[in-house]
């Protein structure tokens, strides 16, 4: 029998929910989309949504041990 790798489906989040999930604000997420410094997002028509897996990846990439370490 072939091995299958099913990914657990997690509902996509709109900007307010994604910002709360990351401990941020909707305003910050809107600005990050403009500057390109935020997490990967998806547009469906005019609606912006975030995949929780992408949010987790973005959060992990922003971990720091010290303020003196360059980002």
Both structure tokens of 7: 């990914």
In tens, the pLDDT along 19-48 reads: 999 999 999 999 999 999 999 999 999 999
Chain mean pLDDT for the chain = 90
Sorted by sequence, the CB contacts under 8 Å of residue 42 that are 6+ apart come out as 12, 48, 49, 50, 51
- The pTM score is 0.81
Quote helix, strand, coil % in the chain, to nearest 5: 40, 15, 50
Confidence check: pLDDT of 3 > 80: no
Coil, helix or strand for 1? coil
Whole-number CA gyration radius for the chain: 15
Confidence check: pLDDT of 54 > 90: yes
Specify the higher pLDDT residue, 68 or 12.
12
């Amino acid at each position: 029998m072939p091995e299958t790798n099913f990914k657990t489906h997690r509902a996509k989040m709109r900007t307010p929910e994604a910002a709360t999930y990351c401990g941020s604000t909707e305003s910050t997420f809107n600005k990050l989309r403009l500057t390109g410094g935020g997490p990967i997002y998806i547009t469906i028509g005019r609606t912006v949504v975030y995949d929780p897996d992408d949010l987790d990846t973005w959060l992990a990439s922003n971990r720091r041990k010290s303020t003196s370490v360059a980002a």
